[in-house]
Amino acid sequence: MNTDKRAKKKKGSKIKPRVAMPMQDPGKRTANFNEVALGYGPEQAAAEALRCLQCKKPTCIQGCPVEVDCKTFIRQVVEGDLEGAFRTINLTNSLPAVCGRVCPQENQCEGVCKLNPTGKPVAIGRLERYVADAFYASTACESLTGGDACPMIDESLKVAAIGSGPSSLTLAGYLASHGIKVTVFEALHELGGVLVYGIPEFRLPKAIVRTEVETLKRMGVEFRLNWVAGKTVSIPELFEQGYKAVFIGVGAGLPRFMNIPGENLIGVYSANEYLTRVNLMRGYKFPDYDTPMPRGRRVAVIGGGNVAMDAARTAMRLGAESVHVVYRRTMGEMPVRREELEHAIEEGVKLEILAQPKAYIGDGKGNLTGLVLQRMVLGDPDESGRRRPHPVEGELIELPVDICVVAVGAGPNPVLTQSTPELRLNSRGYIEADPETGETSMEMVFAGGDIVTGAATVVLAMGAGRRSAKEIARRLGR
Amino acid sequence: MYEIIRKRELIPGRVTELLIDAPQVARKARPGNFVVLRLSEEGERIPLTIADKDPDQGTVTIVYLVMGKTTALLNTLGVGDTILDFCGPLGKPTHIERLGKVVCLGGGTGVAAMHHIAKGHFEAGNHVIGIIGARSRDLLLFHDELASFCREMLVATDDGSLGHKGFVTEVLRERLERDPEIREVVAVGPVPMMRAAAAVTKPFGVKTVVSLNPIMVDGIGMCGACRVTVDQRIQFACVDGPEFDAHQVDFDELIMRLGAFYPEERQSFDLFCSCHEHR
């Protein structure tokens, strides 16, 4: 332990710092929806890549749910081989520009980087983003997808993917690269699932998602919009149409409310509604776009996760005078990524911690005017190891607000599961799937992402898509 | 893209019927289902109840009242024009079984949606009593279509130009009073009409179903904008409905929530109308 500490100190002092990420100025960025993190340029990327130790036994690869060969692609960045670096990442990751932006690298590749004990792990996520952006910006992608890099697609080997979020897109990329025809069925009018309706433009520009989808299209993946699996087409019908396997990646997506008085007042929105109006429907451009956006002077967001912070930072950009994030524990227990929390605070979002909503107050005409909060205190740890909050008797606070966004999680969307009784669900309504392959109680029907695990991260859904894709390819002899 | 095959102005400038080429929707559409459509990249998603379908021809019939920007824009389209997004069939279909006598009550544009449900009851072998209303005779919708399969056809008009002079709910009460064999009432129309119908049927203890039309965004259970209170619980009209037990619905809350974006809807509509006049 002691030697470790000394080593850390000694090592840490010699290690160069991470190359800082260029950012939009906090004062300016709350007035626009443009991306906050601006990305490395070539010199910054090369300098950061040089910090990689090129370990004999790299740990970063195992740290990645989709097993990106970080060591190799970083070496290729040092060598200036952009196309090679992109190919290396793309071998296992169909959405590099997305992952470079929204993965919690601190818990994954960077969390297990040999330099992490010094507090200065290689900025693998930023490098991944650089490679994807720079590669897409050059015309090199055509050389990659123009012919010999992709195998001929066998039209008789058809696989259906339901939902066009990260798990399905990953699966589609893997299977297409193994010569299997994939059709992706999306219920909404735009492709990308949570990447387009959930994650805001300032964190993940929609153009990035479109580029990743275009790459898949050029690989022969087919997309159908406005198809609601379970409604427009059922799973047995897909098999009748000749699909050999079906992957279900429909996400969680059914918003939870808290069941407290006043929840249906005008001004109370689920985070899904609030974010969908802005992101998918471009409500912030109303009336140029038709979908109206609730604009409040005083906004509260309930919850401590990434979605809560996305909603709070969106409210700032829509011109709110004050935005409070209400959370029943303390800042340390918030599940949000540290980086997002820091960005939110820089932008002026305030935290109302140790506070649990008890009721919404209305003006008698149906409009929200305030939130009654119960002051909490932390007690002993619960099963999850986090200290359990307890109410402080008699301590109620009133927070005046005209908009409240509820970001306390989501449940399984029932549309597909209700219409597919053969599909076995767990007690919480999520699909039961084999942890190794994702296969469900229906033969050749696989599932992955939030509809299996409950709300989680983009890259975990991608990992699930990749595992199922490998198994499907194997069973189809590819 | 979904092509408009036929356009019929039922009430010129106000209510229009469109036949849309959408085979995958037509194939699966059941009474009570709805679609969500979007007309342009800048457009909003709006829900419209399916008025009829023809699976063999691959067409779906929708009927709309021109009341906002999207329906006004839709009304500028003609045969051969296309709708950008047309998603469905959504919502739970009407629960239809062979019961005997069933009243299908419709008001305003709701008659169109009711028509599809009434047809379902007729096809299931029920004795369908159709009750429809409008301000005057020439504003009645789907009268002849309903008359072709309803065993009885009752009409109420505000001005008495056809049938009973007064409200459809008065006709409903009178019919319930003299016929204890009515097993179910389905009411589709403006919210005040559905609320009044629920109040009329309650003392008779007759099961009553209403089809609700709250504001929706996605229509597939993702956003919760369409939440309604039924039996004191939150329900999402898009995936749990749109049909609910009329005696359990909180209609006051529904009316309140329908007004949530009234100023913006007005602004959008006025902007559209002024642009259109200047063309």
| CA B236 vs CA A76, A92, B4, B192: distances in Å | 51, 39, 30, 20
Residue A355 to residue A376: CA distance in whole angstroms: 6
Asked if pLDDT for residue A390 goes beyond 60, the answer is: yes
Residues 161-220 of B with CB under 8 A from A: 217-218, 220
pLDDT average, residue stretch A429-439 = 95
**Mean pLDDT of the residues in chain B:** 94
The verdict on a CB contact (< 8 Å) between A227 and B229 is: no
Asked if pLDDT for residue B278 goes beyond 90, the answer is: no
CA distance B163 to chain A (A): 38
Chain A CB contacts of B253 under 8 Å are 264, 366
Asked if pLDDT for residue A81 goes beyond 50, the answer is: yes
Residue A293 to residue A284: CA distance in whole angstroms: 6
Residue A146's pLDDT is what? Answer: 45
- For residue range A144-161, what is the model confidence (pLDDT) as tens digits? 444 444 567 777 889 999
Residue A13's pLDDT is what? Answer: 62
Asked if pLDDT for residue A139 goes beyond 90, the answer is: no
Put simply, whether B77 touches A (Cβ < 8 Å) is: no
Helices (H) and strands (E) in chain B, counts: 9, 16
- For residue range A306-315, what is the model confidence (pLDDT) as tens digits? 999 999 999 9
The verdict on a CB contact (< 8 Å) between A263 and B234 is: yes
- For residue range A196-229, what is the model confidence (pLDDT) as tens digits? 999 999 999 999 999 889 989 988 899 999 999 9
The verdict on a CB contact (< 8 Å) between B264 and A292 is: yes
Residue A253's pLDDT is what? Answer: 82
pLDDT average, residue stretch A410-426 = 92
CA distance A464 to chain B (A): 22
- CA-based nearest residue in chain A for residue B267: A287
Using CB atoms within 10 A of its CB, is residue B73 exposed (0-12), middle (13-18) or buried (19+)?
Answer: middle
The verdict on a CB contact (< 8 Å) between B223 and A272 is: yes
Residue A138's pLDDT is what? Answer: 66
Find out whether B94 and B207 touch, Cβ atoms under 8 Å. no
pLDDT average, residue stretch A320-338 = 94
Encode A170-194: b = buried (16+ Cβ within 10 Å), e = exposed: bbbbbbbbbbbbbbbbbbbbbbbbb
Asked if pLDDT for residue B149 goes beyond 70, the answer is: yes
> How is residue A57 annotated by DSSP?
S
- For residue range B175-233, what is the model confidence (pLDDT) as tens digits? 999 999 999 999 999 999 999 999 999 999 999 999 999 999 999 999 999 999 999 99
Between A431 and B274, where is the model more confident? A431
B56 is written with which tokens?
């063999």
Residue A136's pLDDT is what? Answer: 78
- CA-based nearest residue in chain A for residue B43: A290
Asked if pLDDT for residue A9 goes beyond 60, the answer is: no
Put simply, whether B145 touches A (Cβ < 8 Å) is: no
The verdict on a CB contact (< 8 Å) between B222 and A272 is: yes
The verdict on a CB contact (< 8 Å) between A232 and B259 is: no
Give the whole-number percent of chain A exceeding pLDDT 90. Answer: 73
Please state the ipTM of this predicted complex: 0.93
The verdict on a CB contact (< 8 Å) between A232 and B88 is: yes
Residue B97's pLDDT is what? Answer: 94
Put simply, whether B143 touches A (Cβ < 8 Å) is: no
A/B interface, count of CB pairs below 8 Å: 118
Residue B17: pLDDT band (50, 70, 90) is very high
Put simply, whether B89 touches A (Cβ < 8 Å) is: yes
- For residue range A247-261, what is the model confidence (pLDDT) as tens digits? 999 998 899 999 999
Sign of the four-CA dihedral A89, A90, A92, A96? positive
Cβ neighbours, 10 Å, residue A444: 17
Asked if pLDDT for residue B74 goes beyond 70, the answer is: yes
Give the mutation candidate from B30, B60, B85, B223 for the A interface (greatest A CB count, under 10 A): B223
- CA-based nearest residue in chain B for residue A278: B217
Give the whole-number percent of chain B exceeding pLDDT 90. Answer: 92
**Mean pLDDT of the residues in chain A:** 90
Picking from A272, A204, A417, A286, the residue whose alpha carbon sits closest to that of residue B225 is: A272
Instruction: Give the closest of A232, A269, A290 to B69, CB-based.
Output: A290
Asked if pLDDT for residue A3 goes beyond 50, the answer is: no
Instruction: Give the closest of B28, B85, B224 to A226, CB-based.
Output: B85
Helix extents (H) in A247-328: 271-279, 306-317
The verdict on a CB contact (< 8 Å) between B86 and A226 is: yes
Residue A457: pLDDT band (50, 70, 90) is confident
Q: Which residues of A touch B (CB under 8 A)?
A: 187-189, 197, 225-228, 231-233, 253-255, 257, 259, 263-264, 266, 269-270, 272-273, 276-277, 280-282, 285-292, 365-366, 413-415
Residue A318: pLDDT band (50, 70, 90) is very high
Q: Compute the residue count for chain A.
A: 478
Strands A243-248 and A445-447: parallel
Asked if pLDDT for residue A440 goes beyond 60, the answer is: yes
Instruction: Give the closest of A227, A285, A415 to B221, CB-based.
Output: A415
- For residue range A29-53, what is the model confidence (pLDDT) as tens digits? 988 888 999 899 899 999 999 999 9
- For residue range B229-257, what is the model confidence (pLDDT) as tens digits? 999 999 999 999 999 999 999 999 999 99
Residue A133's pLDDT is what? Answer: 87
Residue A6: pLDDT band (50, 70, 90) is very low
State the first-to-last Cα distance of chain A, in angstroms, to the nearest integer: 49
Residue A425's pLDDT is what? Answer: 95
Encode A249-267: b = buried (16+ Cβ within 10 Å), e = exposed: bbbbbbbbeeeeebbbbbb
The verdict on a CB contact (< 8 Å) between B218 and A414 is: no
Find out whether B243 and B92 touch, Cβ atoms under 8 Å. yes
Angle formed at CA B26 by CA A421 and CA A192, multiple of 5 degrees: 65
HSE-up of B131 (CA within 13 Å, CB side)? 25
> With DSSP H G I counted as helix, E B as strand and the rest as coil, what are the percentages for chain A, rounded to 5?
40, 20, 40
- For residue range B112-139, what is the model confidence (pLDDT) as tens digits? 999 999 999 999 999 999 999 999 998 9
- For residue range A266-300, what is the model confidence (pLDDT) as tens digits? 999 999 999 999 999 999 999 999 999 988 899 99
CA distance B169 to chain A (A): 28
CA distance B107 to chain A (A): 27
Asked if pLDDT for residue A8 goes beyond 90, the answer is: no
Residue A5's pLDDT is what? Answer: 46
Residue B273: pLDDT band (50, 70, 90) is confident
Residue A7: pLDDT band (50, 70, 90) is very low
